[in-house]
Structure 1
């Protein structure tokens, strides 16, 4: 039986190649994902570990928890603590670390490092072992800065050049005193690192005389744990906490692995989709193989083969196919992993050097996935073939499914579909966090139900295309009959394409609706012409707000300041605004009272008011960060949204209680309204600062749209794998169908159907099947997009369903293109059949 199965595999090389390709693509995606994420994770872990070579024990401030009306705080690491750390037994040296944000502009004035990875630190004394200088000298004073070698290379800076930088708003123009190398992971990922002398760093980052961390190096012969014990005894109890360098490196490695894990899981989801689609194709292929070899299998049964041996022969064939696909998929996956690593560079990110990592786990996963998926898909057709009585098989009496089996299938499909729809509809009535699980379960049940019902749905839907197919004469009529002749085969072929288009359409509907809703939210809630903020989301210096207020053409402005406060023994964040102008800059719906902010009068959003049981006139006590308390009164309750919410009070009331006032963003209204000239004037007033963004409402919407578009394009690229697998499935099905109908095609040729008409017949059949899958996929995608939108709409009052008719039309055209392309080879093969040889074939 093993030799028989092996001969069957080798006897049909084209069929073998198509089936192997379907499995190989899925395996390649899985193994490529594992190779890519393991390689990146290993490179970053090794790079970050080098960053702790000079740290044996790190001393950090220990956060003091909130108690009663007293806010929590983080104690300061002082010079006295630094000196004490350096003097403990076993300590060789101690370095005070100061860290912050510093944006560096290139020579064209554009931000380097993307904002979020623009960091700065202090250079310790005359020589800092953490940052070896490759050129120049250590920075001294506010007019000098050292920059990392990668940033210097990307921007073309060298020692002596003047560079534009920004810490929290105002632009500085120091001279590059030196260039250094670093193992900092942010720099490796494409960010930038600037170094100032310690005193300057402390001044710029608002930490005069204090440090963020103290790094202590041990003397030779002193272990990290022993040094840590000495520091714990010497430093003030309860104000500091110590961590060994090894623990820091391990934690960093774990954090990197965790961050890569989410990427890995996301990519593996799409690999799973490709494999899921491939499973349909493999099952379809083996079902057709078994059907074509019915008499052969019956003969084996007649000469003594048992049912178990027949099933085993089919599974052996599947094992060989799966093994070949797994091995080739693993090799292709290694190439994909290497290609993805190189591709990162084209997006402006860099990765530390390191070898391509192919772990034993990756090899085992590739082999397990390829072999198991193929064998599971082939098991049911093999089991079904083994049950056929030899005499019935030789007479082909088994060919049609029984009425009982069809009724059972349709009943099961209806139950799954009804359950899926019910669960999805129930999920839309829940809040967004509770409804996600039921929504996913309902979607899976509905997709399974529709797949089971697809043979039943194929007849009426394909019949709807009859008027169009009649225009193609005999070829069109034959194509329609062929496409519904074997509904199960048609269903399995169309379902592969259906799944891919369901996901693509659903995400497109959801993304378009969310974008429209955010646009409405921005236009409805904000009257300001511009919103000014830092590129990395950090706080702005109050100097930025004062500069904008004094700029010609600005009619109203208000900084938005966040500050923690203790209210009802809980920590709440207050939003400080300019009480006199905030009403001119926002357009929020007030449900109760008036939008009046000034003195001790505040306005509160509905959710916050409900959670505390407040209404207009309610009083509450706020405990500020300086320890003082004040009685505040609710003047109005407004409808909050994702852009503006919380407790608003006047900055004149809030700022005296803040130790270091800073603004999250600034709203600006101008006399001339939003225009390119006005935006340019505001940017120039701020010194053309690369770290500060001046955005109109349209700019905010476009930025959100870009993020949606980026995610969608990534998803389209990943889901293209499933579509490619679906194309292979259509080709495979049509090719085997042509082989199965060789005698019939020969008879059609004999009675006058020319080769051109035969080609048209096969192409139209493929087109109808693909469009059938496309219609189902787009329909299900719209339903899932609507349902997911309803779930998100519970947190977004402006949400409104927007159907992307143009894109849905493109998706249907894509399905049609899949059908046309997939039919090229099978149609050519059908037209080239020798009619006499075909008539004599069995």
Structure 2
């Protein structure tokens, strides 16, 4: 039986090529994902580990919880503590670390790095072991900096050049005095690092006389554990904690692995979708192969082979096909992993250097997935063939599906579909993340249910196309009959395409609805023409508001100044605004009282008011950052939006209580409204600062939507894999169907149907099956898009369903194009059959 199975595989090489391709694509995606994520993760972990070479023990400030009406002050790591740490027995040296956001402009004035990874820090003394200088000398004074070598190369700077940079708003123009190398993970990932001398860094980052961290290097012969134990004796427990360099490296490695885990999971989900779609093709292929060899298998039964041996022979074929597909898929996956890493470089995302990681786990997973998927998909057709009585099979009277089996299948499909719809509808009633798991479960149940019901659905839906097919005469009529002749085969072929289009349509519905919601969010609560903020979301210097207020054409400004406070024993954040101009800059719906801010009068959003049981006229006591208290009066309650919420009070009241005032953003209204020249004037007033964004409402909307658009385009690319597998399935089914119907096609040729008619028949059959899958996919996609939107609407008040009719029509055309393209080779093959040879074939 083993030799028979191998000979069968070799005898039907052409028929199994598409199956091999389907499995290979799925395996390639899985193994490529594992190679890519393992390579990136390994490179970052090794890079981050190098960054801790100069740290044996790190001293870090302890976080404190707010208590009562007192806001906890963050403990400070002072020079005195650093000096004490340096004198501990076993300590070789101690370095005080200061860091913060520093935006660097290149020669064209554009921001280097991506904002969040643009960092600044301090260079320790004249020779910092963390940052070996390759050119020049250490920075001294506020007009000198050192740049990392990668940033200097990308931005085109060398020693002696003047650099434009910003820390919290104002533009600084220091001179580059040194270029250094670093293993910093942010720099390796495409960010930038600028170093000042310690005093300048402390001043710029508002940390005068203190450090963010103290790194201690052990003396020769002292272990990290011994040094940490010694430091624990002198470091106050309520001020700071100590951590070994090894632990820091391990923690960062864990964080990197965790961050990569999300990406890996996402990519593997789409690999799973491709494999899931491929499973239909494999099952369809083996069903047809077994059906075409019914007499052959019956003969084996007649000469003594048992049912188990027949099933085993089919599984051996599947094993061989799966093994070949898994090996080629693994090889292709390694290439995909390397290509994805190179692609990241071309997209501007720098990855640390490191070898391509092909772990034993990746190899085992690829082989296991390829072989198991193929064998599982082939098991049912093999079992079904083994159950056919030999005499019936040799007489070509093998039973078709009985009424009982059809009723059972349709009942099962209806139950799954009903359960799926019920669970999805239940999920839409839940709040946000609570509904995600039920939504996923309901989607899976519904897709399985529709797949089971697809043979039943195929007849009425394909029958609906009959009037159009009549236009093509005999070819159209035959195409319709061929499509419904074997509903299970048609269903399996259409389902592969259905799944891909379901996901694509669902995401497109959500994306269109989100874009509309984001546009509403950006414009509904703001009357300001522009909103000014830092590129990385950090705080702005208060000088920014002063410069904007003094700019020609600016009629009103209001900085939004955030500060913690204690109210009724809870931490609440206050938002300081310009009480005189805030009404001209916002358009908030007032639910109670009046929108009036000034002195001790404040306005509160509806959610905060409800949590404290406040109404217009309520009074409460707020404890500020400096420990002082003030009695405040609620003049109005407004409806919160995604852009505006919280307790608003006048900056004149809030600012005196802040030790280091800074703004989240500044809202600006101009006499000329939003326009290109006005925007240029505002940017010029701020010194064309690379760290500051000046955005109108459309810019804000595009900025928020950019992430969704990027994700959507990535998902489209990933789902294209599933569509490609579906196309292979249609080609495979048609090619094998043509082979199966050789005698019939020969007879049609003999009675007068020409080659063009045969080609047209096969093409129309493919078109009908593809459009059937497309209609099901788009219908399910719209339902899932609506349901996911209902879930998202609980977190986004402006969300509303928008159906992208144009895109859905495009997807239907895509399904039609898939049908036409998939039929090219099978139709040509059918038309070239020799009619006499075909009539004689069995």
Equivalent residue of 1:472, what SS?
A: helix
| Cα offset, 1:312, TM superposition | 0.8
Q: Which residue matches 1:69? A: 69
1:651 aligns with 2:655: no
| Cα offset, 1:17, TM superposition | 1.5
Cα deviation, 1:325-347, whole Å, max 9, x if unaligned, reads 11111111111111111111111
1:88 aligns with 2:85: no
Per the normalisation by structure 1, the TM-score is 0.99
- The 8 Å contact of residues 235 and 241 in structure 2, kept in 1 or not, is answered as no
Equivalent residue of 2:797, what SS?
A: coil
Cα deviation, 1:23-55, whole Å, max 9, x if unaligned, reads 010100000000001001111111111111111
1:535 aligns with 2:543: no
- The 8 Å contact of residues 315 and 378 in structure 1, kept in 2 or not, is answered as yes
Q: Which residue matches 1:729? A: 729
Cα deviation, 1:436-469, whole Å, max 9, x if unaligned, reads 1211111111111111111111111111111111
1:54 aligns with 2:47: no
Q: Which residue matches 1:691? A: 691
| Cα offset, 1:396, TM superposition | 2.7
Q: Which residue matches 1:187? A: 187
Cα deviation, 1:470-504, whole Å, max 9, x if unaligned, reads 11111111111111111110000000000001001
- The 8 Å contact of residues 121 and 193 in structure 2, kept in 1 or not, is answered as yes
Per the normalisation by structure 2, the TM-score is 0.99
Q: Which residue matches 2:239? A: 239
1:617 aligns with 2:617: yes
Q: Which residue matches 1:474? A: 474
- The 8 Å contact of residues 146 and 194 in structure 2, kept in 1 or not, is answered as yes
Q: Which residue matches 2:405? A: 405
In structure 2, C-alpha distance between the alignment counterparts of 1:811 and 1:395, rounded to whole Å? 45
In structure 1, C-alpha distance between the alignment counterparts of 2:518 and 2:640, rounded to whole Å? 13
- The 8 Å contact of residues 518 and 705 in structure 2, kept in 1 or not, is answered as no
Cα deviation, 1:748-804, whole Å, max 9, x if unaligned, reads 000011111111111111111111111111111111111111111122222211111
Equivalent residue of 1:457, what SS?
A: helix
- The 8 Å contact of residues 619 and 633 in structure 1, kept in 2 or not, is answered as yes
Equivalent residue of 2:282, what SS?
A: helix
Equivalent residue of 1:111, what SS?
A: coil
**Match runs of 1:625-774 below 5 Å:** 625-774=625-774
Q: Which residue matches 1:783? A: 783
| Cα offset, 1:379, TM superposition | 0.9
**Match runs of 1:309-320 below 5 Å:** 309-320=309-320
Question: Which has the larger displacement, 566-575 or 379-388?
Answer: 566-575
Q: Which residue matches 1:597? A: 597
- The 8 Å contact of residues 626 and 659 in structure 1, kept in 2 or not, is answered as yes
Question: Which has the larger displacement, 699-708 or 661-670?
Answer: 699-708
In structure 1, stretches of 5+ residues that fail to align are: none
Question: Which has the larger displacement, 324-333 or 388-397?
Answer: 388-397
In structure 2, C-alpha distance between the alignment counterparts of 1:397 and 1:600, rounded to whole Å? 92
Equivalent residue of 2:326, what SS?
A: helix
| Cα offset, 1:583, TM superposition | 1.1
Cα deviation, 1:581-619, whole Å, max 9, x if unaligned, reads 111111111111111112222212122222222222222
**Match runs of 1:351-362 below 5 Å:** 351-362=351-362
In structure 1, C-alpha distance between the alignment counterparts of 2:24 and 2:605, rounded to whole Å? 54
In structure 1, C-alpha distance between the alignment counterparts of 2:797 and 2:6, rounded to whole Å? 62
- The 8 Å contact of residues 118 and 191 in structure 1, kept in 2 or not, is answered as yes
Q: Which residue matches 1:116? A: 116
**Match runs of 1:204-603 below 5 Å:** 204-603=204-603
In structure 1, C-alpha distance between the alignment counterparts of 2:247 and 2:795, rounded to whole Å? 41
| Cα offset, 1:142, TM superposition | 1.0
Question: Which has the larger displacement, 598-607 or 482-491?
Answer: 598-607
Q: Which residue matches 2:20? A: 20
Equivalent residue of 1:190, what SS?
A: coil
In structure 1, C-alpha distance between the alignment counterparts of 2:620 and 2:120, rounded to whole Å? 41
How many residues are matched? 842
In structure 1, C-alpha distance between the alignment counterparts of 2:799 and 2:114, rounded to whole Å? 30
Question: Which has the larger displacement, 430-439 or 582-591?
Answer: 430-439
| Cα offset, 1:399, TM superposition | 4.3
Equivalent residue of 2:146, what SS?
A: strand
| Cα offset, 1:207, TM superposition | 0.7
| Cα offset, 1:298, TM superposition | 0.9
- The 8 Å contact of residues 273 and 722 in structure 1, kept in 2 or not, is answered as yes
In structure 2, C-alpha distance between the alignment counterparts of 1:727 and 1:598, rounded to whole Å? 66
Question: Which has the larger displacement, 70-79 or 729-738?
Answer: 70-79
Equivalent residue of 1:135, what SS?
A: strand
In structure 1, C-alpha distance between the alignment counterparts of 2:615 and 2:321, rounded to whole Å? 70
Question: Which has the larger displacement, 796-805 or 453-462?
Answer: 796-805
In structure 2, C-alpha distance between the alignment counterparts of 1:235 and 1:709, rounded to whole Å? 49
Equivalent residue of 2:121, what SS?
A: strand
In structure 1, C-alpha distance between the alignment counterparts of 2:329 and 2:606, rounded to whole Å? 55
In structure 2, C-alpha distance between the alignment counterparts of 1:51 and 1:232, rounded to whole Å? 23
Equivalent residue of 2:635, what SS?
A: strand
Q: Which residue matches 1:153? A: 153
Question: Which has the larger displacement, 373-382 or 561-570?
Answer: 561-570
Q: Which residue matches 2:166? A: 166
- The 8 Å contact of residues 428 and 791 in structure 1, kept in 2 or not, is answered as yes
| Cα offset, 1:398, TM superposition | 2.6
- The 8 Å contact of residues 602 and 647 in structure 1, kept in 2 or not, is answered as yes
| Cα offset, 1:631, TM superposition | 2.2
In structure 2, C-alpha distance between the alignment counterparts of 1:697 and 1:594, rounded to whole Å? 26
Question: Which has the larger displacement, 445-454 or 643-652?
Answer: 643-652
- The 8 Å contact of residues 65 and 73 in structure 1, kept in 2 or not, is answered as no
